[in-house]
Amino acid sequence: MTSPLTGEQLAALYDTENTWAADDEFFLAFVNERPDTKVLDLGCGTGRLTLAIAAAGHRVVGIDPDFDSLAAAQRKPESGNVDWVGGTSSQIPAGESFDVAIMTSHVAQAISNDDDWAQTLEDVYRSLVPGGRLAFDSRDPAARVWERWTPANTHGSYTLPDGTTIETWIECTALESGLVTMTEHRVRPEIFEETETMILAFRSEEQLRNDLPTAGFTVERVFGGWSGQAVGGAQGELIVIAVK
């Protein structure tokens, strides 16, 4: 179904809903542990973090399958400092090697098919130099955060740069095998209402610790929060650091 919102408006809505936060600080600090690195940002979206990493002096390739998001990223200041690629891990530029790879904003969960997830890890592993590091975030299924993603808890109203006001909310349904359907409602009062549904994979710490070595990685650390908390803390995150 074609959205009544333009691709530019959808990208602007994403940026309005998702502003710089503790997770961005974590990943930027992670990349900055080593100066002048070559960074792969897989699932870069509209480039909020990608551009900050480039501004910090790193060489960055940003990859995303959503071409409207990439177009929005390329309209932002200093976007010429990043190489933007449309696609998934299969479009990681051949022959290029990276010191660091990141997958942020829980993009790992959007890769809900386990075969696709395994292929993604293999592709990233292959693209890293020996000793290269991967960092990504996923939500801890033990926290059952989807139970709090109700219309009442997630309702928001956002005004886009072009003056359009959009109301949004989320509802979720838990499926089998750690999968959750998440449906976002987007409403422009008295004009239109649309929904977009995606399936998210809530993989346990144990599963992630098994998946990464299968692809060749060694898991260094798994944090439960953006300040280095242990898994099982109130933030309900699984922040994985692995090395090739």
pLDDT by position in tens, the chain (length 244): 578 889 999 999 999 999 999 999 999 999 999 999 999 999 999 999 999 999 999 999 999 999 999 999 999 999 999 999 999 999 999 999 999 999 999 999 999 999 999 999 999 999 999 999 999 999 999 999 999 999 999 999 999 999 999 999 999 999 989 999 999 999 987 788 899 999 999 999 999 999 999 999 999 999 999 999 999 987 899 999 999 9
**Domain boundaries of the chain, sorted by first residue:** 7-140+203-243, 143-200
How many Å apart are CA 118 and CA 14, to the nearest integer? 27
- CA 125, distance to chain mean position in Å, is 18
The count of residues in the chain is 244
> What pLDDT shows up at residue 1?
55
* H or E element at residue 22: helix 22-31
> What pLDDT shows up at residue 189?
79
> What pLDDT shows up at residue 234?
77
Centre a 10 Å sphere on the Cβ of residue 62 and count the other Cβ atoms it contains: 27
> What pLDDT shows up at residue 3?
81
Contacts of 26 (CB under 8 A, 6+ apart): 226, 239
Q: Which CATH number fits domain 7-140+203-243: 1.10.287.1080, 3.40.190.10, 3.40.50.150, 3.30.110.60?
A: 3.40.50.150
What DSSP assignment string belongs to 158-180? EE-TTS-EEEEEEEEEE-STTEE
> What pLDDT shows up at residue 178?
95
Residue pair 13/5 in contact by the 8 Å Cβ criterion:
yes
3-state class of 23 per DSSP?
Answer: helix
* H or E element at residue 207: helix 205-215
Q: Find residue 156's DSSP bridge partners.
A: 168
Q: Biggest alpha carbon distance in the chain?
A: 56
